[in-house]
Structure 1
Amino acid sequence: MENSPRPTDLQLHTLSRVLELHYDDGAHFRLPCEYLRVYSPSAEVRGHTPDQAKLQIGKEQVNITNLEPVGNYAVKIFFDDGHKSGLFDWGYLYKLGRGWQPLWQDYLQRLRDAGRSRSGEDPFNQLQARGEAPSERPV
């Protein structure tokens, strides 16, 4: 765990609903609040086993109201829909940043499989339209 990348800066952009993370290996991620909410590591979302996972629906406008550090290894994220369980450890946030494309596509597919859809513009498309790459990798 000591060799795992660690964040050097976290910035919450409430207007654009994005959490920006900089890691000590040079990685830089911009993660939409909706994405973080639907991939919350809480038992409420993930369940205790994969078959207990609950698909999160209607989280397009969710925002983060507070970030609370937990030791030197995680952050507790408070969402404005009342969700505040689950600790986002640095490795998990890094995984979400690196793997945003397949993870987001998987979420969209699970919505389709459930006969559901998102409303509004895709938050990752919004980032790119503003010229902000969701993920920047070190050279």
Structure 2
Amino acid sequence: MMRETSLPRAAAPLLGFGRLLRRYGFAIAPEQVSCFMQAVTLLGPRSMADIREAALATLAPPPDRRDEFEAHFQSHFYGNTSAVVEGDADEETRIKDDGGADDERLEAEQSQEGGDLSSALEQLSTRDF
């Protein structure tokens, strides 16, 4: 693993972005950060769009956290602190309930009598002793 002191000064923000994502719970491996830095080097970043594309390709944020990833990118590289996404403290997962139709279906399935034993035709093999 590279030490931060041995990196070029221009690489510090890239390494810092990987650390920022880890701090906010993104599963980012050290190899991914290294690949991110190599991708930026290979692209010879002509624009921030190149860096953003390299980050998306190598750090691979999960689809459900893509907006949060974008907000952290804006915050880290552009200094746009208003872009940081904060989760609602009172946010709850809502469950759709159709009024117990599942309970009725479960009772109907349980009341149906099934064969405890299979017939000779249904058996895959037999044993002769």
TM-score by structure 1 length?
Answer: 0.26
Q: Which has the higher contact order (CA 8 A, sep 6+)?
A: 1
TM-score (norm 2): 0.27
Greater C-alpha Rg: 2
